[in-house]
């Protein structure tokens, strides 16, 4: 069949990336001649500019953008068409955020933190439409929205954080208090896993971030009665099962 390529990693998880490469899908960093080649659009999505360029280069495009991210694209475009200045709350360099911003005709304002709100710029906006990167921290996003509402006459806020992320963020507020040890599973390249780890660590110092079961240390579990486990959005089920099994055998050899 035709060779399959993708721009960057399909998700931010090394194990998934390995499986994808094993299946013969090759990672590229820039678009070249694409005749007779398939380009896979990753879960995080991409900008319209990249999509147009891929088609112009001759690639057959297969869009594997997460449906929830697709919804954010549509909301952002609708807001722009209705005269709102679009503000994206998220990590500026994250592929998903760049993909959302890349749907628009006018430049989106991207805000990654409360302390980085461009007050002068937002005070000049009459009406703003706000969307959020799907794996952002809800508490942080709401604090940013409050500041926007204080400075912009009309703010239409769409909470576009995806359901699995909301559930995990709700759990991570109680789990570290209910367990002696917390194990957070996910790639060090995963922004949402980092957020889960940071929240957990702020509530329980015995919070450990692992990429696989190989990184679990006996000493973490030796004096603990119970362990709580959570994982980032792109962590494979197989990795989670392996970690659970390792914890069981370490605690009950």
With beta carbons less than 8 A apart as the criterion, state whether 131 and 86 touch.
Answer: yes
Query: Helix 191-203 vs helix 163-178: angle between axes, to the nearest 10 degrees?
Result: 30
Task: Pick the catalytic residue from 14, 15, 80, 96.
Answer: 96
Q: What's the Cα-to-Cα distance from 99 to each of 39, 43, 51, 73, 88, rounded to whole Å? A: 16, 11, 10, 8, 11
- Give the three-class secondary structure for 115: helix
With beta carbons less than 8 A apart as the criterion, state whether 40 and 8 touch.
Answer: no
Structure tokens at 156: 């239409």
CB-neighbour burial class of residue 219 (10 A; exposed 0-12, middle 13-18, buried 19+) = exposed
Catalytic residue check, 21: no
With beta carbons less than 8 A apart as the criterion, state whether 212 and 228 touch.
Answer: no
Measure the CA–CA gap between 28 and 26, rounded to whole angstroms: 7
Query: Helix 138-151 vs helix 163-178: angle between axes, to the nearest 10 degrees?
Result: 120
> Which residues are designated catalytic?
96
């Amino acid at each position: 069949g035709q060779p399959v390529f993708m721009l960057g990693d399909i998700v931010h998880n090394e194990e998934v990336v390995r499986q994808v490469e094993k299946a013969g899908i090759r990672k590229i960093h820039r678009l070249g001649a694409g005749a007779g080649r398939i380009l896979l659009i990753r879960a995080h999505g991409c900008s319209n500019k990249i999509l147009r360029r891929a088609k112009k280069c001759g690639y057959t495009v297969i869009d594997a953008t997460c449906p929830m991210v697709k919804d954010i694209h549509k909301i952002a475009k609708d807001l722009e068409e209705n005269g709102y200045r679009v503000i994206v709350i998220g990590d500026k360099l994250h592929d998903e955020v760049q993909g959302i911003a890349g749907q628009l005709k006018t430049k989106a304002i991207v805000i990654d933190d409360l302390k980085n709100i461009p007050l002068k710029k937002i005070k000049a906006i009459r009406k703003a439409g706000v969307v959020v990167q799907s794996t952002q921290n809800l508490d942080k996003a709401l604090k940013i929205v409050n500041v926007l509402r204080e400075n912009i006459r009309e703010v239409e806020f769409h909470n576009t954080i995806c359901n699995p992320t909301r559930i995990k963020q709700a759990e991570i507020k109680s789990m570290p208090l209910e367990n002696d040890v917390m194990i957070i599973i996910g790639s060090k390249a995963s922004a949402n896993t980092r957020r889960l780890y940071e929240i957990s660590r702020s509530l329980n110092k015995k919070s450990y971030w692992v990429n696989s079961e190989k990184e679990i240390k006996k000493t973490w579990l030796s004096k603990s009665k119970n362990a709580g486990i959570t994982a980032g959005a792109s962590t494979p089920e197989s990795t989670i099962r392996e970690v659970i099994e390792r914890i069981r055998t370490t605690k009950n050899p």
